[in-house]
Amino acid sequence: MSETGFFTDTTLCIGCKACEVACKQWNELPSDGFAFTGESYDNTSQLSGTTWRHVAFVEQVAVDPAAASPIVEKWLMMSDVCKHCTNAGCHEACPTGAIVKNEFGNVFVQPDVCNGCGYCVVSCPFGVIDLVDPIDADRKYAVANLNEARRDNNQTAIQNNGGVAGKCTLCYDRQKIGETPACAKACPTESIQFGDLLELRERANARVETLIARGIDAQLYGAEDIGGGIGPLNAFFLLTDRPEVYNLPVAPVLPSTRQPAGYAAAAGTALALAVAGWAIFRSR
Amino acid sequence: MPGLGTSFGRGGATSYVQDLQNADCILIEGSNFAEAHPVAFRFVMKAKERGATIVHVDPRFTRTSALADLYIALRSGSDIAFLGGIVNWVLQNERYFREYVLAYTNAAYLVRDDFRDTEDLAGLFSGFDENAKVYDRETWDFERAADGSVARDETLAHPRCVINVLRKHFSRYTPEMVERICGVSQAQFGQLCETLARNSGRERTTAFAYAVGWTQHTVGVQYIRTASILQLLLGNIGRPGGGIMALRGHANIQGATDIATLYDLLPGYLGMPSTTRDEQTLAAYLRSNAKSGWWQHLPAYVVSLLKAFYGEAATAENDYCFDYLPQCTGDHSTLPTQIAMKDGVVKGYFVIGQNPAASGQNGAMINAGLERLDWMVNVDAYETETASFWKREGADPATIATECFFIPAATILEKDGTMVNTNRLLQWHDRAIEPIGQSVTDAWFLYTLGKRLKELYAGSSDPKDRPLLDMTWEYGDGDPSALRILQEINGFDTRTGEQLRSFTDLRDDGSTAAGAWIYTGVCPDADTNNARARNGDEDAALGWGWAWPANRRMLYNRASAAPDGTPWSERKRYVWWDEAANRWSGADVADVVPGAKPGHDDQAFLMQTDGLGALFAPGRELVDGPFPTHYEPSASVVENALYPQQSNPTMRGWRRSDNRSPAAVDAQYPHVLTTYRITEMSGIMTRYIPWLAELQPAAFCEIDPQLAVEQGIASGDTVTVSTALGELECKALVSGRMRPLRIGGKRVHTVGVPYNYGALGFARGDSAGELIPLVMDPNVSIHESKSLTCAIRLGPRSPR
């Protein structure tokens, strides 16, 4: 079976957050609380164990020293999501085998296997995966309508009442019955496109050409090998500014690629200590 | 929507949202399209992808602005000056579509010689009664011959030609004046004018889209009129990718207006009889409402409606029970009724799917009014601020005598029925699940209430009880059948019971019944419900749902062809005369009377008395002027730069201690205040949903960085916004998306307050309604909530 993924085209995003809501509704995720951030229209702030789509709002101020007040001339919006890396840090770090690559080539956390150790959290180069706090009574209202049948499916992060790692499943359960993931289905402007990975990449390349012809500085993020040992991303993005503007890492690195260097350094240190020890004891 | 009705003949959006993708330019003004109508906005995005220029004109840089090619910041409340400036530019530079204007508008008509314009009378039209604050509209008319025919000058040279009177009317609305009033630079203004003109004409079309940003003003109807005049001059009405999209804010608000939730309308836009006019018998009513054009069929529509209401009891001998209809005795619209409730005149109150305590204006007065009621019945899916007014902040339940009933209502998923959207499109939906718990459908509630009342009055011989007893009220047992209701609205032959296929089948002899003539055709036979149709396509999609009138998607589409019936251009062909087939062809149902041919009975605006688009609106239509005029809002930060007359001379308000209003220009309230809704929130429905509440979790206001610094406010701080009426506490959101404007040498800040919050739910906060005094437009009694004045300070408000 060919791999599937998301192509998120930020030039079509209108910042409506339908993706966030559709994701939470389908996956029966609780809200992350009701704190007002005062930061543009972003009050969920980041991806979390229970927020699997997050719309970033970037207000870009015009450089005009004559202006009485700073003027926002561009307001970028981007729906962020788990990148579903070819070589995923979380996948490599998982000691229980809870995180797997499924038949669609997507990175999937099996909540019934996960023991909540959190190794995956520090191993994600994009800061995506997170532990889901135990879901206490206060947050229960959000899952009051949880369908009993789906509770047994072992496919939602909250079936264990939290205490496990959570992130986008690329709607594994929907894909298995031939449905489009909830976020892509809900997106009114086709900013989020789901489909066969190779076809999405082709579409994305054509889109970049179209936009460049219109004078828009479009670039893809993660459609090809992103470097750092991660490989291409199954969820990739079309951006009109540098990745860091959208809070995406410019040069993400897979932690395990640092292991040879780390082991070599450790071996070198051990050897140096041995030599020093030998020298000290020999001199006596 | 009399702005559109006066101009074109029907009070609805002239086109359908899908058609926006055919536009070469879309001007969005008075609407935050992307945020308030995100799904419909996909067609704006499609147009953009096809190369259209998207322009957003708004006091705030919103998500719509972010997606637009050109954003223009203007001061809230100055749109007539802005649009009037464009009208002036188009006329001065001779950029109007001359053939279209000559053929399809009243540009060539001569205005009466005793008509006086605002240019002559310092901001007033002729006929103003200074004491009563109303116009005698006698002179707002055309020069008519003895036989009633109107004088025309096809050369458009006569100084009293409508187009020349219009020219003079807007002559001082120059780019300099636009800059001074609206805060829009002359360069940007020029760029916009050129863009609109370049994208209009034979080969290209421009669409306008607006929402309540244009209507909720003391001159709201005239905003729409200005846009209508402009679109007629540019030749964009009735053509693909053109038109004026009136974006309706709620899912079924078009249906609600069609089936007459407005106090002065009967279903299908028939006027409610009134004691203020000679309308006390059927004959007098028909005389009083007689109009030429398509409205000559009015008797058939009225008699059919009465037959639907009263069935067998309605006969020719008793005027089809016409005298059963209630009669208006004055203005019974929302705001006057709110005052009457506060004054103890209104004793009982049904509130169904509404939440005035949070979404109404002058919240303190609404709550005080609710306290004076004998009883109130709430039918809602949620406990609203209205339902729980007796336990609000500062209230003492022990002192409130109002008897309150709460009926839990089923949601849309729990009931059958239709939704009518902004396209005038009826779409059927089925009940997906049974209502949860004790909740009932609102139809069940009203149906059962009606049945119980009929039982209570059964056997009464009192004539005043006859309307209730004679009312037809048979829609099955238990939940009423939504389909049977729709079939009755569609209409049937009273002798055979057969469904009717078209409103042309309706008769004034009692042989037909129809609940709303405009819907005739949706259920054309016993087995067909066209609202269920789901055959979509990429064009007008005539097989998807059913649109009134006659499943026509674009109104006035006769104007998409030249007078000779040929398309204006290949690129913009839509409906045209097919000589070989001897009929109109094209993508849509032609908007002409049956039997029309080019040059014969083929008026483009067939509902109009003269069949023409109205640049000049003669007397009987609007009460505040045949042309739009820039007046400042009832409270403004500046004086009217164009006329000594500061604000709409005919606007209506209440100067009383419970409706404190500021002075016309009041130094205590130096900032412009505007209110709006945001994508993530609607009202009570969304505040209880955690997934939506977390996205915009608290009431907030948006201010620019300079104002924030001046007031010592940081983003996220608790602040108080105040008006002469009241205070609102909320969080500050400081952003360079808000821009101070230079208005007549003065720096003007705008404070934006979302109108989504209330005391209940997960996302809570003060309602913007606390800030808004009751002032209204004289035509449609709409409140003024888009352009007010306010002050802002750091810190919480005082307790209520």
Which of A71, A75, A77 is opposite residue B739, by nearest beta carbon? A71
Which of A16, A33, A190 is opposite residue B679, by nearest beta carbon? A16
The DSSP secondary structure of A150-203, one letter per residue, reads HHTTS-SGGGGTS-SEE----SHHHHHTTPPPHHHHH-TTS-EEEEEHHHHHHH
pLDDT surpasses 80 at A186: yes
Count chain A–chain B contacts defined by CB atoms under 8 A. Answer: 115
Peptide bond into B397 cis (omega under 30): no
* CA of B438 vs chain A CAs: smallest distance (Å): 17
Q: What is the rounded distance in angstroms from the CA atom of residue B336 to the CA atom of residue B340?
A: 6
Q: Put the strands of the sheet holding B206-210 in their side by side order.
A: B70-73, B53-58, B25-29, B206-210, B244-246
B538-543 long-range contacts (CB < 8 A, ≥24 apart) are B539/B587, B540/B16, B540/B18, B540/B19, B540/B587, B540/B588, B541/B18, B542/B588, B542/B589
Q: What is the rounded distance in angstroms from the CA atom of residue B795 to the CA atom of residue B713?
A: 9
Which runs of E-coded beta strand occur in B546-658?
546-547, 575-578, 583-586, 652-653
Which of A24, A77, A188 is opposite residue B691, by nearest beta carbon? A24
Percent of chain A residues topping a pLDDT of 70: 89
From B282, B365, B268, select the one nearest B323 (Cα to Cα): B282
Whether the CB of B687 is below 8 Å from some CB of chain A: the reply is: no
Q: What is the rounded distance in angstroms from the CA atom of residue A42 to the CA atom of residue B694?
A: 10
Whether the CB of A215 is below 8 Å from some CB of chain B: the reply is: no
Which runs of E-coded beta strand occur in B25-162?
25-29, 53-58, 70-73, 128-129, 134-135
**pLDDT < 50 stretches in chain B:** none
CA A67 to chain centre: 38
Cβ neighbours of A12 in B, within 8 Å: 45
pLDDT score for A139: 53
* CA of B36 vs chain A CAs: smallest distance (Å): 9
For the four alpha carbons of B262, B264, B267 and B270, in that order, the dihedral sign comes to: negative
Contact B739 A69 (CB under 8 A): yes
* CA of B772 vs chain A CAs: smallest distance (Å): 25
Q: Which H or E run contains A268?
A: helix A259-283
pLDDT surpasses 80 at A60: yes
Whether the CB of B4 is below 8 Å from some CB of chain A: the reply is: no
* Beta bridge mates, B140: none
pLDDT surpasses 50 at A148: no
Q: Which two tokens stand for residue B94?
A: 């001779």
Q: What is the rounded distance in angstroms from the CA atom of residue B614 to the CA atom of residue B626?
A: 9
Whether the CB of A190 is below 8 Å from some CB of chain B: the reply is: yes
CA B608 to chain centre: 19
Cβ neighbours of B39 in A, within 8 Å: 188
Whether the CB of B747 is below 8 Å from some CB of chain A: the reply is: yes
Which of B39, B696, B705 is opposite residue A43, by nearest beta carbon? B696
pLDDT score for B199: 98
Which residues does B615 contact at the CB level (< 8 Å), separation at least 6? B105, B106, B107, B162, B163, B166, B229, B232, B233
3-class state of residue A142 by DSSP: helix
Residue of B35, B53, B694 to mutate, interface with A, max A Cβ within 10 Å:
B694
Q: What is the rounded distance in angstroms from the CA atom of residue A44 to the CA atom of residue B696?
A: 9
User: What ipTM was reported for this prediction?
Assistant: 0.92
Q: What global pTM score does this model have?
A: 0.95
3-state percent helix, strand, coil for chain B, nearest multiple of 5? 30, 20, 50
Helix pair B186-198, B175-182: axis angle to 10 deg: 120
pLDDT surpasses 50 at A22: yes
Q: Which two tokens stand for residue B606?
A: 């067939």
- Quote the longest CA-to-CA distance of chain A: 79
pLDDT score for A281: 87
* CA of A46 vs chain B CAs: smallest distance (Å): 12
Q: Which of residues 65-124 of B touch A (CB under 8 A)?
A: 65-67
Which residues does B30 contact at the CB level (< 8 Å), separation at least 6? B58, B79, B210, B211, B212, B213, B214, B215, B223
pLDDT surpasses 60 at A152: no
| Dihedrals phi, psi of A194, to nearest 5 degrees | -115, 145
Q: What is the rounded distance in angstroms from the CA atom of residue B192 to the CA atom of residue B69?
A: 11
The DSSP secondary structure of B286-343, one letter per residue, reads HHHT--SGGGGGHHHHHHHHHHHHHGGG--TTTGGGGGGS--B-S--SHHHHHHHHHT
* Beta bridge mates, B245: B209
Nearest CA in chain B to A43: B695
Q: What is the rounded distance in angstroms from the CA atom of residue B652 to the CA atom of residue B134?
A: 10
pLDDT score for A284: 65
Contact A72 B693 (CB under 8 A): no
3-class state of residue B464 by DSSP: helix
Is the distance from CB of B468 to CB of B453 less than 8 angstroms?
yes
Is the distance from CB of B669 to CB of B790 less than 8 angstroms?
yes
* CA of A72 vs chain B CAs: smallest distance (Å): 5
Between the alpha carbon of residue B203 and those of residues A34, B234, B235, the distances in Å are 52, 12, 11
pLDDT score for A199: 97
Give the number of other Cβ atoms within 10 Å of residue B547's Cβ: 29
From B673, B700, B694, B691, select the one nearest B756 (Cα to Cα): B700
pLDDT score for A1: 55
The secondary structure of residue B154, as a DSSP letter, is T
Whether the CB of A240 is below 8 Å from some CB of chain B: the reply is: no
From B538, B425, B415, B383, select the one nearest B485 (Cα to Cα): B415
pLDDT score for B667: 95
